Structure 1
Amino acid sequence: MKYVFGPVSSKRLGQSLGVDLLPPKSCTWNCVYCQLGKTRKFVTERQEFFAREEILEEIREALERHKGLDWITFVGSGETMLYKGIGWLIAEVKKLTDIPVAVITNGSLLYLEEVREELLQADAVLPSLNAGSEALHNQIVRPAAGLTFRQHLEGLVAFRHEYQGRLWIEVMLLGGINDSDEALRDLAIVLKEINPDMVHLVLPTRPAPEQEVHLPSDERIERAIAILSEVTTVVNPLKGNMDLRNAPDMLEAITAIVSRHPVQQRELQKAIADCFPGENDKTAEVMKEMLATGRFKLVEHNGEPYWVMQS
């Protein structure tokens, strides 16, 4: 499938069917930690990159194929809300199924009334907020010209006032960058102003484009939870498991996931092993065949091998 991938699993969203609305990489930010790599050219104008009817048809087909889904998640190879017409897609998906809809976004376009309006029908919206100060915000996300921290914050506050669904803010915690007590207290101040339903701490576990990106220590993670919990509920998500058991074509399913983010090799090994219970040698054989296609290569990050697409 061109637009739909997964399901993938996480503590936050359980078994989630992903819908990618963008050509890679279309983004308003150039985050130091981005698993998609550097933003070579900023995109700030919203447009309908792909025909909405084609995307909806793929979602319809995937819903017939996959059972037991917990969420349908709109996400982009960049900034999701650059896709003009996502509101129509959310409304049409809700006509097809009772499965709740989530949207993962960096939140940089929430200052636009039309963007906020398109998101009102979503059951959960997960925007990013990684800093409580302009200087640190700019250091981490490196936004396109004209997109300011104040604008970002005001967009989040305005959306909170209008939105009745679940607002779950994602905070990427970076070792030595935004995990100091000072940075965390600044972040707590702006989170209190936004008043989200929950904060999800996320960690840079996948390969990043910049060498200064490191995992925070366990002590800093616990400190972040303690400080941010003073103003809102904080969840430190545990990684879920990829599920390939219903994939009609395993190679294409893995390609669809790896093309959107690096995949830890041991996570992939488990997902393949689950497809062949009792066949101990099958997993290694399948993985060898996958690598032999030339689509993938292995890279190391934090001592762990990851599968990424061949460039």
Structure 2
Amino acid sequence: MIHVFGPVSSKRLGQSLGVDVLPPKSCTWNCVYCQLGKTKEYVTERSEFFPKEEILEEIREAVSSGTAIDWITFVGSGETTLYKGLGWLIAETKKLTSIPVAVITNGSLLSEEEVRQDLLQADAVLPSLNAGSEELFMRIDRPAPGFSFDRHIDGLVKFRQQYSGQLWVEVMLIDGVNDSAEALHDIAAVLETIKPDTVHLVLPTRPSTESAVHLPSDASVTRARMILSAVAKVVHPVKGSMNLKNTDDIIRTVTSITMRHPLQERELRHALDELMPDDPDQAERMLSAMLGSGAFKTLTLEDGEVYWVPSSDTRT
């Protein structure tokens, strides 16, 4: 499949079937922590980049395969709401299945009424809020010209006023950037105006192209949970387990996942061990064969965690 991948284990959504509606990388922001790498050229106008019927057919095939799926998650190689047919896809997907639909977005286009209308049928929407001030917004999210902090917050507030589904705001916590008490109180003040159902605290665990992006300390995470929980329930999700048991082509599945985000080798190894519990050596041989195919390469972070990315990945 071209647009549908997984299911993959999600920190927020269990076994999540991903639906990528964009050509890489199409985004309104150039976030310092982005797992997709740098935004080489901003995209700010909505477009139907691929035929929506083509994407829907892949969703239909995936949900009818018998694979265990907790959520169908629209997530782009960039900013998901840039896809102009998103509202139609959400509506048609909900006709196909009772599996709940989520949309992961940076929220930058929620200031547009058309975009807000497109998302109203989703069961959960997960926008980003990484800063409570213009200065930190520009430093972390690095938006395209015209995408101001005030515009971002205004869009989030207006969407909350219209949306009756689950609004789960993501806050990416970065060491030495937005994890101070002052920065967190600023974020909490903005969250009070948005009124999300929950706040999902996320950490930059996957490789970034920016060398200055580091995991916050445990003390910083605790501080964030204490300050933000005064506004809404704070969730620091535990990562789920990758499941390959219903995959008929492991290499194709792993390839489709790594094209969207780096894949933790420890997670992949665990999934292969579960697939072949009576022969752990076979899992090791499969890992070696996949690396030997030349389709993948590995990246090792400062904490020693190893991630798989496509061999064409240019991050350092």
TM-score, normalised relative to structure 2: 0.97
Q: Which residue of 1 aligns with 2:189?
A: 189
Q: Which residue of 2 aligns with 1:242?
A: 242
Q: Which residue of 2 aligns with 1:158?
A: 158
Structure 1 residue 275: Cα displacement: 1.2
Count of residues in correspondence between the two structures = 311
Separation (CA, whole Å) in 2 of partners of 1:127 and 1:179: 19
Q: Where in structure 1 are there 5+ consecutive unaligned residues?
A: none
Structure 1 residue 68: Cα displacement: 2.8
Verify: 1:39 aligned to 2:44, yes or no: no
Q: Which amino acid aligns with 1:178?
A: N
Q: Which residue of 1 aligns with 2:308?
A: 307
Structure 1 residue 271: Cα displacement: 1.1
After superposition, the C-alpha distances for 1:160-212 in whole angstroms (9 at most, x for unaligned) are: 00000000000000011000000000000000000000000000001011111
Q: Which residue of 1 aligns with 2:274?
A: 274
Q: Which residue of 2 aligns with 1:94?
A: 94
Q: Which residue of 1 aligns with 2:208?
A: 208
Separation (CA, whole Å) in 2 of partners of 1:66 and 1:133: 46
Indicate the SS of the match to 2:88. helix
Single out whichever of 221-230 and 63-72 deviates more from structure 2.
63-72
Separation (CA, whole Å) in 2 of partners of 1:96 and 1:305: 38
Structure 1 residue 11: Cα displacement: 4.2
Separation (CA, whole Å) in 1 of partners of 2:288 and 2:63: 31
State the Cα RMSD in Å. 0.8
Indicate the SS of the match to 2:64. helix
Q: Which residue of 1 aligns with 2:52?
A: 52
Q: Which amino acid aligns with 2:146?
A: G
Q: Which amino acid aligns with 1:26?
A: S
Separation (CA, whole Å) in 2 of partners of 1:299 and 1:70: 29
Indicate the SS of the match to 2:289. helix
Q: Percent identity?
A: 64
Structure 1 residue 155: Cα displacement: 0.1
Indicate the SS of the match to 2:68. coil
Indicate the SS of the match to 1:281. helix
Separation (CA, whole Å) in 2 of partners of 1:257 and 1:271: 14
How does 1:74-223 map onto structure 2 within 5 Å? 74-223=74-223
Q: Which amino acid aligns with 2:88?
A: W
Q: Which residue of 1 aligns with 2:283?
A: 283
Q: Once superposed, which parts of structure 1, at least 4 consecutive aligned residues long, lie more than 4 Å away?
A: none
Q: Which amino acid aligns with 1:124?
A: A
Q: Which residue of 2 aligns with 1:293?
A: 293
Structure 1 residue 230: Cα displacement: 0.5
Separation (CA, whole Å) in 2 of partners of 1:161 and 1:231: 17
Indicate the SS of the match to 1:129. coil
Indicate the SS of the match to 2:114. helix
